[in-house]
Structure 1
């Protein structure tokens, strides 16, 4: 089984460290999606169960969160 996640690395993490983490995920059968390198450093990914714990505890990873659809509503829409 795979986990769809967003992986954000700590500020100042070298691009080579991020790329190595991405390659580790791919070598375990995972897939890398969008890459973030402006406001945030990281990527979205489908990570196999066998690799999720190593990713969460990676020294340069700031956080890992589930990836999914997000909807925004204004107060006016909620009143209807």
Structure 2
């Protein structure tokens, strides 16, 4: 099972670090559907549960390039 998430990286993250995570998502059975590099650094992807757990653990480390992992969804305004 997998869910759709947006992974945002810190401003200090290098493109090589981001590419490494994109590759790992794809190799773990996920699918990166969009990459962001203008207003922010990151990507949107379907991420398998097992790899999501690994990402969440890595993002909690002080030296992690990951800033935020958020469930992807529709946002509306009134």
TM bucket (normalised to shorter chain) is: 0.7 to 0.9
Normalised to the residue count of structure 2, the TM-score between the two structures is 0.88
Counterpart residue number, 2:12: 12
- Separation in structure 1 between the aligned mates of residue 13 and residue 42 of structure 2, nearest angstrom: 10
Provide the secondary structure at the position in 2 that maps to 1:33: strand
Aligned-residue RMSD, C-alpha: 0.9
Normalised to the residue count of structure 1, the TM-score between the two structures is 0.86
Q: Which runs of 4+ in 1 moved over 2 A?
A: none
| Unaligned segments of structure 1, at least 5 residues | 74-80
Counterpart residue number, 2:65: 60
Counterpart residue number, 1:31: 31
- Separation in structure 2 between the aligned mates of residue 28 and residue 34 of structure 1, nearest angstrom: 17
What is the CA distance between 1:47 and its match in structure 2? 0.3
Instruction: Count matched residues.
Output: 73
- Separation in structure 2 between the aligned mates of residue 69 and residue 50 of structure 1, nearest angstrom: 24
| Unaligned segments of structure 2, at least 5 residues | 59-63
